Amino acid sequence: MNTEKAYAAYLDQQDKLADFRHEFYIPHDTIYFDGNSLGLLSKRAEQAVHDIVESWKTDAIDGWTNDDQPWYYLSEKLGAMTAPLIGAKPDEVIVTGSTTSNLHQLTASFYKPAGKKAKILADTLNFPSDIYALKSQLKLNGFDPAEYLLQVESEDGNTLETQNIINAMTDDVVFIVLPSVLYRSGQVLDMKTLTREAHKRGIPIGFDLCHSIGAMPHQLSEWGVDFAFWCTYKHLNAGPGSVAGLYVNRKHFGQEPGLAGWFSSAKEKQFDMAHVLTPAPDAGTYQIGTPHLLSAAPLLGSLEMFYEAGIDNIRQKSLELTQYLIELLERELTDYSFTIANPRDTATRGGHVNIEHPDAARICKALKADGVIPDYRRPNGIRLAPVALYNTFTDVWDTIQILKTIMIEERYKFFENERGIIA
C-alpha cells in the first residue's frame, strides 16, 4: 500500500464526487469526521430554509397552498425525494416526527400481542432510545419488559451474528426491531435475510436506519421489510433536530395508525373536521401533527445533492474512504494498542470506522484540540466517519498523521480519560 500523501492527493483527483465538497460549510482548519452524529450544513440546505422563511413572510397562511413549494404537501414531497435512497416507492415514505416518536408510532401500529405471542425482539447493541421506546410500549400494553423484551446478545461486544438473531425468532415473538447499522461498530446487518426469516415465522420486522440512510443503498420494498424509521441530521445533513422519516411497506396500506392525529388524515378529508378519521391511503397516515416546516426545509436542498451524486456512487466512495483509513491505521499505528472494531469486509461495513483504545476519551479530546473532530462512544470507542460528499482522502491521510503524532508525543495525557457531557 502507498502511504505517501501524494497518493491521497491522487485519489482525490480521481474522485467524481469531489465538487460536492464545495457545497458545504466546513469549519476552518478542521477535519470533520463526525458526520455520523451531525452532518455539516450545505449551501443548498441553507437556501431551502431561507426560501421557506421568505414564503412565510410574503404568503402568510397562503403558503400552505400557494407557494412554489406548498407546505401542505411538503412531507409527502420529501418522502418521495427520500424513497430512492432506501429502495422504496414514493408513497411508502413520509418525512415526519423524530426517530423515537416514529418508533412509538410504528410499534403502536404493528405490535399486536395475542395470547402467548406477545414478545418483542431487539438486540443488546441498539441505540438506547429505541430500547426505551420499546420498553415503554410494552408497559403501556401491560407487559413487564424484563420478560417480554428479548435482546439478542453479541458474542464479541461489537457485532451480531445473523444466525443468533434468527434463532431468537421464537414462537412467542410478535414484533422485531433491529438497527440496519450498529451505531458503535458500524456493522451492517443482513436485512434481506432477517426479513425473509421473520416472515417465514409470521413476524413483522422493521429497521432503524439512522446510521445507514444517506451512506449506503437499501432495497426495503424488494426485501419486503414491513417498516423503517430514521433521523435526517447524520448522513442526510439536514441539521440538528431536523424532521425524521419513516417507511411503511404498501402491503400495510389501508389500516389506521396506532397513534392517530391531525395529519393522519387523507388530504382531501382533513379539513372536513370530522371526528371520525379517514386515514391517508399511504405512509402519510403515520404522521401525527402538523409538519415542522423550518426543520424539514433543509432536506429539500440536501436531497437534491443525493439525487445528483447517486447513492451507489456515495456508497462506493464511502467504502474507499473507510478502507483507506483502515489500511493507514494498520500501517502507521500498529505500536499503539489500537483495535479496529468494525467489520473489514465491504458488505458488512457501514459508513464509519470504530477503533478502540483504553485511552479513547482523552485521545478524542487530543484529536479535537489538533483540529480533527471525531466521536467518542463508551467505553473505549473512537468513531471516525469520512463522509463521501465532503471528506477527502487527504483528510484521511492527515488524520492518521495527526493521530500518530498525538500517540508518539503522548499529547493525550494532557486530558482526562472521561467523556464530556455530549460525546
- Is 375 assigned a ligand-binding role in the annotation? no
User: Which residue stretches of the chain have pLDDT < 70?
Assistant: none
211 is in an annotated binding site: yes
Please indicate, yes or no, whether residues 243 and 100 belong to a single structural domain of this protein.
yes
342 and 257, same domain (yes or no): no
pTM of the model: 0.97
SS (H, E, C) the chain: CCCCHHHHHHHHHCCCCHHHHHHECCCCCCEECECCCCCCCEHHHHHHHHHHHHHHHHHHHHHHCCCCCCHHHHHHHHHHHHHHHHCCCHHHEEECCCHHHHHHHHHHHHCCCECCECEEEEECCCCHHHHHHHHHHHHHCCCCHHHHEEEECCCCCCCCCHHHHHHCCCCCEEEEEEECECCCCCEECCHHHHHHHHHHCCCCEEEECCCCCCCCCCCHHHHCCCEEEECCCCCCCCCCCCCCEEEECHHHCCCCCCCCCHHHECCCCHHHCCCCCCECCCHHHHCCCCCCHHHHCHHHHHHHHHHHHCHHHHHHHHHHHHHHHHHHHHHHCCCCCCEECCCCCHHHECCCEEEECCCHHHHHHHHHHCCEECEEECCCEEEEECCCCCCCHHHHHHHHHHHHHHHHHCHHHHCCCCCCCCC
Same domain, 280 and 343: no
Does 219 share its domain with 73?
yes
Q: Give me the domain span that covers residue 179.
A: 48-308
Same structural domain, 60 and 188: yes
The domain that holds 263 is classified in CATH as: 3.40.640.10
383-423 pLDDT per residue, tens: 999 999 999 999 999 999 999 999 999 999 999 998 887 77
**Residues with catalytic roles:** 127, 208, 233-234, 383
Shared domain check, 167 and 26: no
Residues 143 and 227 in one domain: yes
The reply, when asked if residue 130 is annotated as ligand binding, is yes
Residue 43 is assigned to a structural domain of this protein: no
Q: Is 129 annotated as a binding residue?
A: yes
Q: Do residues 396 and 302 both lie within one domain?
A: no
So what's the pLDDT on residue 41?
Answer: 98
Number of domain units in the chain = 2
- Tell me the per-residue pLDDT of 200-228, one tens digit each, with 9 for 90 and over: 999 999 999 999 999 999 999 999 999 99
372 and 352 share one domain: yes
Q: Are residues 77 and 179 in the same domain?
A: yes
Q: Tell me, what CATH number does 325's domain have?
A: 3.90.1150.10
